[in-house]
Amino acid sequence: MDAQGVHIETHPREGAPVFSAGRPDPCTLVLFGATGDLAERKLFPALFELARSGLLPEHFAIVAFSRSKLEDASFREHVKEGLQKFARTQPLDEAAWKRFAETIETASGGYDDPEAFKQLGQKLQDIAKRHQTGGNQLYYMATPASTFPQIIKSLSDADLLKREDQPGKKPWHRLIIEKPFGHDLESAKALNKTLGAALDEKQIFRIDHYLGKETVQNILVFRFANAIFEPLWNRQHIDHVEITAAEAIGVEGRGGFYDETGVIRDMVQNHLLQVLALCAMEPPVSFGAEDIRDEKNKVFRALRPVEGGEVPQHVVVGQYAGYQEEKGVKKGSRTPTYVAMKMNIDSWRWQGVPFYLRAGKNLKKRLTEVSIHFKSVPIGLFSGGGDTCQRLQPNVLTLRIQPHEGIALSFESKIPGEDVNIGGVTMDMDYAESFKKPVPEAYERLLLDCMRGNATLFARQDSVEQAWGYITPILQALETDAGGTIHTYPKGSKGPDAADALPAKNGRRWSTL
């Protein structure tokens, strides 16, 4: 028991897993943008962690491709320095590093240089022999979205990307692309067209690191493996759902990039709509990738459109004080760093249940969570002696995605004593602590899934376009005065006060940050 008197026991079930992840296939990972920030902070640390834990395929190699000239030895040194800063387990395991370093090789050249891709092809053939990777190729585009079409064209022209019409054929070629998957509906469709011209949808892995988080995956198990929750998961019992993604940091020197993107493209269109879909979807036929993705897509199709003059009633946007002074931000920019939205899902299960989303930078604290607010008990039994009577709080189920991943449930209880006094109780399960296992980084899981060819946690073409179809009219309204005011809020606050009006119209309020 801890100091608060909460005692949580976990009982892992015996027997084979419900859904076995399986071994990843031998392969060569070609990393475009290998000298960039994402590679240093996330991708190499994730690959190293997998190597250290013995989870990578036995036959595996990395080709770090960069436009600037790279030498194997000095690049490995650069990777090691990054791992000393960003690897999940410190200090760096030297023996594991030695083994991992041997798998890293380099290649360089312009993304539009046919000669560079011809040399890359020869290098891959050579690696396939030396490392016995069976010719399986995984291409990772950790580069700006503007470079995607050119890299795809160069790979195709060099015969390094082949369309696979039969799933499960070897050797395979797969492509991982990082968000943003387009800038609006039109550009998303254009990108999908470029991808579709070169590859089958099953070869394309659109990576959204939020979906790799253990607690996001746990939403499905929590919902569908517990008979006490699934019968309540509907409009009869749930009053509203709140999804929060608050960041304590600002744009961190990436003002130019952020000013082009903004919080809605950066957080809502991908991460938060994906989380919303997992919370709102119907039970899938199985844990198979396409069954889960089919159900998520139905949620996007059921989102009630918000367009033109309706936008200010459903969407409140803000900028933190001092945003316009950030390096790279245009003067007079209308790019929001905070958004609060009220969304409706026109389906049998969710009719009349509002979904409130909020996301922003420079807020009071870093927190991503989903709160399911259940309906209040009928009045009567607890109305007591007039106005001074204690107010009952509705039950809230909170799924914490980061930090301190876990699940909390609040309920009402009698306080010991002669009078009937009521107190709120929160039972809280910390994910890593309860299971006595470290929670892996999202990229570790996602990289392995690509090597397995398991697309469950990746965005599918139709869903990406559905999500953009919902978001684009909102973005268009916000870029003009029709979208209403852009409110300024102080750094380190809960965001603009105007956001409180969204839930307040229906007598609700945001959870405190």
Binding residues: 67, 179, 209, 213, 247, 266, 361
274: Cα separation from own chain's centroid:
7
Half-sphere exposure of 102 (CA within 13 A, CB side): 11
CA atoms of 375 and 490, how far apart (whole Å) = 33
Catalytic residue among 240, 271, 373, 487: 271
Helix (H) / strand (E) element for 367: namely strand 367-374
Give the SS3 label for residue 207. Answer: strand
Q: Which one-letter amino acid corresponds to residue 260? A: E
Q: Residue ranges for the binding site for NADP(+)? A: 67, 179
Helix (H) / strand (E) element for 30: namely strand 27-32
- Torsional sign, CA 265, 209, 75, 24: negative
Q: Residue ranges for the binding site for substrate? A: 209, 213, 247, 266, 361
Helix (H) / strand (E) element for 175: namely strand 173-178
| Tokens linked to 194 | 């470029």
Largest CA distance in the chain: 85
CA atoms of 75 and 68, how far apart (whole Å) = 11
Instruction: Answer whether 240's CB lies under 8 Å from 355's CB.
Output: yes
27-32 vs 60-66, strand pairing mode: parallel
Give the SS3 label for residue 166. Answer: coil
Distances (CA, A) of 344 to 19, 226, 269, 480: 32, 26, 15, 24
Q: Which strands sit side by side in the sheet containing 204-207, from one edge to the other?
A: 104-108, 60-66, 27-32, 137-141, 173-178, 204-207
Whether 183 is catalytic is no
Closest by CA position to 104, among listed 54, 135, 67, 63: 63
DSSP 87-148: -SSSS--HHHHHHHHTTEEEEE--TT-HHHHHHHHHHHHHHHHHHT-TT-EEEEE-S-GGGH
Residue positions annotated with a catalytic role: 271
